[in-house]
Chain A
Amino acid sequence: MGPSSKTAHYAVIGTAPSAHTASAAQHARIPAPAASRLSRALDRMFVWLTVTPTALTMLLVFGLPLAFSLYLSTEGWSPDESLFGGQFAGLANYDALLTDPTFIGSLTLTLGYTAVTVLAELLLGLGVALLLNLDLPFIALFRTALIVPMMMTPIVAALCWKLLLDPDHGIVDYFIGQPIIWLGQPWLALISIGFASVWQNSPFVCILALAGLRSLPHEPLEAAAIDGANALQRFWHVTLPLLRPYLLVALLLRAIFEFRAFDNVYVMTGGGPANATLLLSVYTYQASFVQFDLSLGAAASWVMLLIALVACLGFVALIGRGSTR
């Protein structure tokens, strides 16, 4: 049961509609048939008229800035110059980046942070989904309650955690019994921002996994039970392989979003202490809007973009393979 095993029905514009007489139109009170020339012209241009606004918006508001950013990254450019008034600098910005130990540190930190948080979200999300899949009284209540963190504005969630982890008045340190300065020490700060993100985002994995669990066919599990497989074996050899497409999507979506993590760091640590939580997004933000070196920021964002693009193409390839099976 691949998630997109259904076949789509496509039509070529202008083909004669098949002779179905059951009239949906009559039920739906459509305005009188307008066989005017205008309406036929509109029909002929339907594809063009519907797709162009979306394509044009994306091209102008997203594509154009993207192209401009590539241009910026090869220039020495400052905001007070005219748009194309910069000095051509070739790959100098990229060179500066890749020889900057702060950037390299930020890059490895981001990859490690992404790997660990995504793994934690997957494990926690899947575990919670298995629990929520049980048929128990009041389970719907738990299902609703556990998605609350996911809906929260990330900035607000991070602010809440900052208060909860406060060394003087935070409730976490009260329960632990001694003041721990969570956000003031490199490793603890990194763990704290990662935890805040896992707390907020594992419900998303949980929702996907739960949707997967509820759509699983019963037969393979029953067959395995009859063959004498215990619960653990059934989970490992039957449920998990069937859930694979769902978990794969969760994995890749979460990886893409953790890779660009910004809000939790911005509020909780600002990249500190001593760059311990300086993820790539924060590095790029600081380069662009604190040091106001827009060219360096553009180069950094293109490095991020290329990494995301590779991950994304992998995603598309994997999904594509899933849907052909």
Chain B
Amino acid sequence: MRRRKLIGAIFAYAALLALLVLFLFPLLWILGLSFKTRMQVFASPPLFLWTPTIDNYVAVLKTGDFQHAFMNSLLISAEAVLLSISIGVPAAYTFARFHFAARGMLFMSLLVMRMLPPIAVLVPMYVLFAKIGLGHTRLSVVLAYTTFSLPLVVWIMRGFFEELPRELEESAWVDGAGRFAALRYVVLPLVRPGLVAATILTLLLAWNDFIFAAVLSTDATRTLPVLMASFSGDVGVDWGSMTASCVLVVLPVLLFSFAAQRHLVTGLSSGAVKG
């Protein structure tokens, strides 16, 4: 019995290792390329051991294009997260706690909007933003992101609010706290894991999006993914700085996600599974 268990464990580890290679080796290879000189990148056969250089990172961080796109990405993501959390969370609370006319219908239409292909609103958004003078501005991209992160925030947070016993707010109300004060001081501190999850997921949406930023922004307001996509035309020129930029784009969200991994998994599964 014990021996069978051991053999089972060995097979499991072998399978896990194979999966690790499948999922991580490509990324590690890219990471490796970013620490190579141009000669080393194109060496044949490929180099598996070499003296790493950080020249590519220095070069990328020095370029104005990258700095500019990084700032745009940072500002747009932060603003989109702030906007969708601050208006979505109170709405989610009300959806979870109070009956009102058309509640079911409103909630369903939010869900449906989350499911629709974004390209469907892209064309008219582009036209309408241009007509009202918001064309090519950061604000237009932030607003576009808010429309797809709001349903997500409401969906995730409603689940967290519903799990709280409602006696908590009720006793706060008895003690004379208004609805807003009870939400702010009693309820919100208890759903912090939900807030973390919702924040990360909306941040990921905004940071990782390409298509909206590509259409709604211009050279001055373009985000990192748009800058990255512009590299895809001339693959074969400068793999070193290209891979270094790849790493720099992915690193912030990766670190952020690891730091809050537990909440993220809760949020993903609760947001997705609880109807």
Q: Which residues of A contact B19 (CB under 8 A)?
A: 128, 131, 142, 146
Segment at the B interface, from A42-50, A101-109, A186-194: A42-50
Cβ < 8 Å to B, chain A residues 182-223: 199, 203-204, 207-208, 211-212
- Closest chain B residue to A15, Cβ basis: B170
21 contacts between A and B (CB under 8 A): A11-B98, A25-B175, A25-B186, A30-B177, A30-B185, A34-B181, A42-B180, A55-B91, A58-B150, A69-B120, A83-B127, A142-B16, A147-B261, A154-B225, A162-B232, A163-B30, A163-B235, A211-B269, A285-B211, A301-B123, A315-B115
Contact status B179-A163, CB under 8 Å: no
Partner of B228, one of A9, A13, A128, A153: A153
Segment at the A interface, from B50-58, B60-68, B160-168: B160-168
* Contact size range, A: 35 or more
Kindly provide the distance from the CB of A244 to the nearest chain B CB, expressed in whole angstroms.
12
Which residue numbers of A lie inside 8 Å of B, CB to CB? 3-4, 6, 8-13, 17-26, 28-31, 33-35, 39-40, 42-43, 46-47, 49-51, 53-55, 57-58, 61-62, 64-66, 68-69, 72, 79, 83, 128, 131-132, 134, 136, 142, 144-149, 151-156, 158-164, 166, 168-169, 171, 174, 199, 203-204, 207-208, 211-212, 245-246, 249-250, 253, 256, 259-260, 262-263, 266-268, 280-281, 284-285, 288-289, 294, 297-298, 301-302, 304-305, 308-309, 311-313, 315-316, 319-320, 322-323
- Closest chain B residue to A211, Cβ basis: B269
Known: A136-B9, A174-B46, A262-B211. A4 touches B30 (CB 8 A): no
B81 interface contact, C-beta 8 A: no
Beyond contacts A57-B143, A58-B109: 20 other A-B pairs, Cβ-Cβ < 8 A, are: A3-B275, A4-B274, A6-B163, A9-B166, A23-B174, A53-B87, A58-B151, A62-B113, A64-B124, A69-B121, A128-B19, A136-B9, A146-B23, A159-B228, A171-B29, A203-B23, A301-B119, A304-B119, A308-B117, A320-B275
Known: A4-B274, A79-B127, A309-B116. A208 touches B268 (CB 8 A): yes
Contact status A156-B246, CB under 8 Å: yes
Contact status B20-A146, CB under 8 Å: yes
Contact status A253-B106, CB under 8 Å: no
Contact status A61-B146, CB under 8 Å: yes
Kindly provide the distance from the CB of B183 to the nearest chain A CB, expressed in whole angstroms.
8
B133 interface contact, C-beta 8 A: no
Q: Which residues of B contact A284 (CB under 8 A)?
A: 119, 123
Which residue numbers of B lie inside 8 Å of A, CB to CB? 9, 12-13, 15-16, 19-20, 22-24, 26-27, 29-30, 33, 41-42, 44-46, 87-88, 90-91, 93-100, 106, 108-113, 115-125, 127-128, 130-131, 143-144, 146-147, 150-151, 154, 162-163, 165-182, 185-186, 189, 204, 207-208, 210-211, 215, 224-225, 228-229, 231-232, 235-236, 239, 242-243, 246, 249-250, 253-254, 257-258, 261, 265, 268-269, 272-275
- Closest chain B residue to A252, Cβ basis: B115
Count chain A CB atoms within 10 A of each CB in B12, B30, B119 and give the residue with the most: B119
Contact status A47-B94, CB under 8 Å: yes
Q: Which residues of A contact B12 (CB under 8 A)?
A: 131, 134, 136
- Closest chain B residue to A22, Cβ basis: B171
Contact status A245-B273, CB under 8 Å: yes
Contact status A24-B186, CB under 8 Å: yes
Q: How many A-B residue pairs have CB under 8 A?
A: 350
Q: Which residues of A contact B253 (CB under 8 A)?
A: 151, 153
